[in-house]
Chain A
Amino acid sequence: MLLIQGLVLGILVGGMYALMASGLTLIFGVMRLINIAHAAVIIFASYLSWQLFIGLGVDPLLSIVILVVVFFIAGALLQKFVLSALIDKDLSLALLATLGVANVLEGSEGAFWTSSFHSINTGYAARTYQFGEIFVPEIRIITFAASVILLAGLYVLLTHSNLGRAIRATTQNRGVAQLVGVNVNRITMIAFGIGIAVAAAAGPLMGMYYPFYPNSHWGWIGKLMAIVVLGGLGSFRGTLLAALILGIAEQVAILYIPANWAAMVFFVFLFAVLIVRPQGFFGHVARESL
């Protein structure tokens, strides 16, 4: 019974992990760039959502709509004016630029909102449902449902639109995509914007689920990297599956070992995957020369 409890909670949290990691894998796909600032963007969106809720009474779920638009524009601008010039020249410079962005966000959060814990408490969704012997907090159902809806939207966008086809073509082969008439620079900018927007969408959900503070993004980026490596860098479906697997593994581990040690599950998987199968489950990217 305990195991089923862990399984259910694992799937629920895994849905949110999938949303958090999908932007990271999308960005890696089109740019071959590990966005070190990805979790920092999520936490920054959590803070903004908190501020909108406390200051203006905007519901965190509603704030997703605002944040997605703002962060898409910010991400696209960052890609156009900073990163695009760097990825052609030297990928490691783009990587370092994202490290810089992560620290700018972390430092600004600390300066504006102090370095103490914050969490988004809406007042609703405080109940816990009981199914037989399984207890499920309502907040986890809400964040899972919201994550699934957002991921479904992203999936439809990637598979059933011309934009999505262009993004996938750029991911698979930049040169060939350009040959068949895809404006790869423009698509890369839009895809990076989408990746950042998805991270922003995950922010309010993460903030309703877990407390956050300025440097908590370091813990998250480690987890997210483990997810995208397990799923195969650049693979959307692989990332979804890996997020569920690691969510379940973590929640089951919490039942048997102290909660802080459960975070190590991610790193155990990360190292195991890199030693045994560096390309992950679905991807083919980690192995080729970059």
Chain B
Amino acid sequence: MVPLVILVALPFNGLNGFLLDLLYFTFTYAAMSVGWNIIGGYTGYISLANLGFFGLGSYVAGLMLTHLGWPILLTSPLVGLLCALVAAAVGWVALRTRGPSFVIVTLAFTFIVQFLALNLKDITGGSAGLYLPLLSLDPLLRGDLFYYYMLGVLVLSIAVAIGIRRSRFGLGLIAIREDEGKAEGSGINTSLFKIVAFMISAWFAAVAGAVHAQYLNYIDPDLAFELIIMLNMIVMTLLGSRGTVWGPVLGAFLLFPLQSYLVYWLPSTIAGEVHLALLGVVLVLVARFMPNGLLVTAQELISRRPPPRLETVAVASGEPAQGRVRRNG
């Protein structure tokens, strides 16, 4: 609660434009990572479609604005809903069966959406992109508006993540991750659970994409489907601790400012490439050496101090389930 109060109060204390932008991006990534975590962390299905939903959200919102004049900051929940329906269709193909088809289909989905954005030139403007009408706002106020908007989306995403974690639905998702066969045997409609988790995940990516289109006032197939966005969602979640409520948030707040600094510091000719390679290195290292992420690893280190037998008893009886998950596998 205290961090939230601080974040709400910050812009009143003369936060400069640079920091305001930095936090806006951090909120965006944090909200998308929390969303990714619902399918990738809770349910244990690696989705590469969230980038596709980010881009799809950008385009759907942008087209609604240019053709119908509907302001993006009002339509973004609706855009998210439309994309979630698309997610239901994709999920129907990929999630009916277990196994590796999900990652393949989600990657293919992202390619297809990007391909359509690039090649349906009459609608999307192709590689020239789509220019959106500017928001007629004082620049200072504009920064504040995006800041609070994404802060709101982030708070909503965390609330949803907590709600799922404490519900039977959330327990079902975790059961699917731990042993899908047994989950199905115990009466969980695994296909439905997986598809709903995927839809919620897509909603947050699409809303973030929609808001980002308005933030840039411009959409093109490269910006809307930038690979580093997908990589960031995954690395942030994994570094923070996937399957926990706060892990993705922690990951985003650590990694995004660090990356901004890095890109600022690197020579501009190779900044993007080195950034991508380093993020890949971080992904491999975290997967190999700290797959449980910072939050769970830290909790384990802290709870290791008392004798192990007492610790297990204490955990089983006292602590609520929030933020504490079984190690994978």
Contacts and interface: CB of A to CB of B under 8 A. Distances in A.
A110 interface: yes
Q: Tell me what chain B mostly uses at the interface: helix, strand, loop, or mixed.
A: helix
B181 A108 contact: no
Nearest to B328: A90
Given A97-B283, A97-B287, A104-B284, A278 B273 contact: no
A96 interface: yes
A109 B283 CA distance: 18
A250 interface: no
A22 to B, nearest CB: 17
A96 B46 contact: yes
B329 A90 contact: yes
B270 A111 contact: yes
Contact of A99 (B44, B111, B112, B234): B234
A101 B288 CA distance: 12
A289 B46 contact: no
B272 A93 contact: no
B277 interface: yes
Q: Tell me what chain A mostly uses at the interface: helix, strand, loop, or mixed.
A: helix
A278 B101 contact: yes
B119 interface: yes
Interface in A161-189: none
Nearest to B104: A225
Interface in B36-58: 40, 44-46, 48
Contacts of B93: 271, 274-275
Interface stretch (A11-19, A191-199, A216-224, A235-243): A216-224
B243 to A, nearest CB: 11
Nearest to B270: A111
Interface in B92-109: 93-94, 97-101, 103-105, 107-108
Interface in B105-164: 105, 107-108, 111-112, 115, 119
Instruction: Give chain B's interface residue range (CB within 8 Å of chain A).
Output: 35 or more
Contacts of B180: 289
A282 interface: no
A136 to B, nearest CB: 29
A32 B101 CA distance: 11
Contacts of B282: 100
Given A108-B273, A289-B181, A32 B291 contact: no
A89 B100 contact: no
Contacts of A89: 291, 328-329
B77 interface: no
Given A89-B329, A111-B274, A263 B99 contact: no
A99 B231 contact: yes
A248 interface: no
Interface string B164-198: 00000000000000001100000000000000000
Contacts of B227: 103, 215, 218
Given A233-B100, A275-B93, A267 B108 contact: yes
A261 interface: yes
B288 A86 contact: yes
A211 interface: no
B14 to A, nearest CB: 37
Contact of A82 (B103, B112, B288, B329): B288
Interface string A241-278: 00000000000000000001101100100110011001
A107 B278 contact: yes
B98 A274 contact: no
Contacts of A104: 277, 280-281, 284
A86 B287 CA distance: 8
B100 A32 contact: yes
Contacts of A233: 100
A218 B288 CA distance: 24
Interface string A102-121: 11111111110001000000
Interface in A199-227: 214-215, 218-219, 221-222, 225-226
B101 A100 contact: no
A95 B328 contact: no
B279 interface: yes
B60 interface: no
Those 3 A-B pairs whose CB atoms lie nearest each other, nearest first: A107-B277, A103-B280, A100-B283
Interface of B: 40, 44-46, 48, 93-94, 97-101, 103-105, 107-108, 111-112, 115, 119, 180-181, 227, 231, 234, 238, 270, 272-284, 287-288, 291, 328-329
22 contacts: A34-B104, A82-B284, A82-B287, A85-B288, A88-B329, A89-B328, A89-B329, A90-B329, A92-B44, A92-B328, A96-B46, A96-B283, A97-B283, A100-B282, A102-B280, A103-B277, A106-B273, A106-B276, A108-B273, A218-B111, A267-B112, A287-B97
Given A225-B108, A226-B108, A260-B119, 4 more contacts: A36-B103, A95-B103, A105-B280, A270-B104
